């Protein structure tokens, strides 16, 4: 049974790439809406990934449960089909074949992105690794998770990207990855329509992730001090804002009308009325 404060009670979600940033924000807000959330990634209490970041999937799971949901951390390398297959089999076993929401938020491409050089001057192996990390992982995860949704004839797939237009994003492989993720949503929407399953892409605005805060030399508590470094930082948003956008989509009984679209926090807050963690409603393009 659902209610206004827990519209996703009884729902099961998989947030692939929920260790930190937007993925963590989405996982926590799905939990706040009442969902049981499997949160996956390579950084766990058992050891860090090659990104060598301190955040873990266990921390995300604890935040999900504290928010009112059920957080279930499962260490998974989504570039490995065998590990993803085991993950999905576990979900099927523990949830009676039930999966309502799949969020593909796997990224890990920050250290692989070259913002300074054109394609012909970039390291090819690094660029291709970025594509494998940021695109192929999404394909692998959907390949194994979608049958759980198809068998029930309902569900929502969310592909997390950067930007919802065809604008060039400043670096060849980065642009290719983020644009490809939008096409993943479009393609899945087309193939899933007959099964009553929606697929969308979504982008945040200027996201105050853990990495971004560190880059500005601030914390969430004093983030406004970062405006001195970049005035645009004043219009940034937290991962909570993205999470609430996804939770609103997941609770929308008319979600099929949005299937196949590239959406954004700055458009969805106007429709659903959600706010960021501090009660504001950042609107990046308006800025």
Q: Which of 103, 85, 72 is nearest to 147 (CA)?
A: 85
pLDDT of residue 3: 64
Would you say residue 97 lies in a domain?
yes
The residue assigned the tokens 């209610």 is 3
Predicted local confidence at residue 171, as pLDDT: 97
204: β partners:
none
Residue 234 lies in a domain: no
For the beta sheet containing 36-41, the strands, ordered from the edge strand earlier in sequence to the opposite edge, are 70-75, 36-41, 12-16, 101-104, 155-160, 197-203, 262-264
Q: Looking at residue 158, which CATH number applies to its domain?
A: 3.40.50.720
pTM of the entire predicted model: 0.96
pLDDT of res. 1: 40
Q: Is residue 117 part of a domain?
A: yes
Question: Which of these, 92, 14, 109, 119, lies nearest to 60 by C-alpha position?
Answer: 14
Query: Cβ-count burial of 88 within 10 angstroms (0-12 exposed, 13-18 middle, 19+ buried)?
Result: buried
- Residue of 148, 140, 152 lying closest to 91 (CA atoms): 148
pLDDT, position 43 = 83
Question: Which residue do the tokens 């479009």 mark?
Answer: 186
Q: Residue 93 and residue 44: Cα distance in Å, rounded?
A: 23
Residue 5 lies in a domain: no
Residue 146: give the domain boundaries: 12-206+240-272
Round to whole Å and give the CA distance between 108 and 235: 24
Does 124 fall in a domain?
yes
Q: Are 234 and 227 in contact (CB under 8 A)?
A: yes
Query: Does 174 participate in catalysis according to the annotation?
Result: yes
**124: Cβ contacts below 8 Å, ≥ 6 apart:** none
Contacts of 81 (CB under 8 A, 6+ apart): 140, 143, 144
- Tell me whether residue 63 is in a domain: yes
DSSP 84-153: HHHHHHHHHHHTTT---EEEE-----GGG--SSS-GGGS-HHHHHHHHIIIIIHHHHHHHHHHHHHHTTT
CA 169 to chain centroid, in Å, comes to 19
pLDDT in tens, the chain (287 residues): 446 789 999 999 999 999 989 999 999 999 999 999 999 998 888 887 777 787 899 999 999 999 999 999 999 999 999 999 999 999 999 999 999 999 999 999 999 999 999 999 999 999 999 999 999 999 999 999 999 999 999 999 999 999 999 999 999 999 999 999 999 999 999 999 999 999 999 999 999 998 889 899 999 999 999 999 999 999 999 999 999 999 999 999 999 999 999 999 999 999 999 999 999 999 999 87
**Would you say residue 216 lies in a domain?**
no
Note whether residue 191 is domain-resident. Answer: yes
> How many domains is the chain built from?
1
Select which of 38, 144, 168, 174 is catalytic: 174
Phi-psi label, residue 102: left if phi above 0, alpha if psi -120 to 50, beta otherwise: beta
């Amino acid at each position: 049974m659902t209610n206004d404060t827990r519209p996703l009670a009884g729902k099961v979600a998989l947030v692939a790439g929920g260790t930190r940033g937007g993925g963590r924000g989405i996982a926590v807000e799905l939990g706040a809406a009442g969902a049981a959330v499997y949160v996956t990634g390579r950084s766990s209490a058992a050891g860090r990934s090659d990104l060598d970041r301190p955040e873990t999937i266990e921390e995300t799971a604890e935040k999900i449960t504290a928010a009112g949901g059920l957080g279930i951390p499962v260490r998974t390398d989504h570039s490995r089909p065998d590990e993803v297959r085991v993950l999905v089999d576990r979900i099927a076993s523990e949830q009676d074949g039930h999966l309502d929401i799949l969020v593909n938020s796997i990224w890990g491409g920050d250290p692989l992105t070259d913002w300074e050089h054109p394609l012909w001057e970039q390291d090819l192996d690094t660029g291709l690794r970025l594509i494998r990390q940021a695109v192929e992982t999404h394909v692998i995860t959907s390949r194994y998770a979608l049958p759980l949704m198809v068998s029930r004839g309902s569900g929502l797939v969310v592909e997390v990207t950067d930007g919802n237009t065809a604008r060039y994003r400043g670096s060849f492989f980065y642009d290719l990855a983020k644009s490809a993720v939008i096409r993943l949503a479009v393609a899945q929407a087309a193939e899933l329509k007959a099964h009553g399953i929606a697929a969308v892409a979504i982008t945040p605005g200027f996201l105050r992730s853990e990495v971004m805060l560190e880059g500005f030399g601030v914390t969430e508590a004093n983030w406004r001090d970062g405006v001195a470094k970049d005035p645009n930082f004043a219009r940034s948003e937290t991962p909570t804002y993205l999470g609430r956008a996804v939770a609103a989509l997941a609770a929308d009984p008319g979600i099929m009308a949005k299937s196949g679209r590239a959406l954004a926090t700055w458009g969805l807050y106007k429709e659903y009325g959600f706010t960021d963690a501090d009660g504001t409603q950042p609107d990046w393009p308006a800025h």
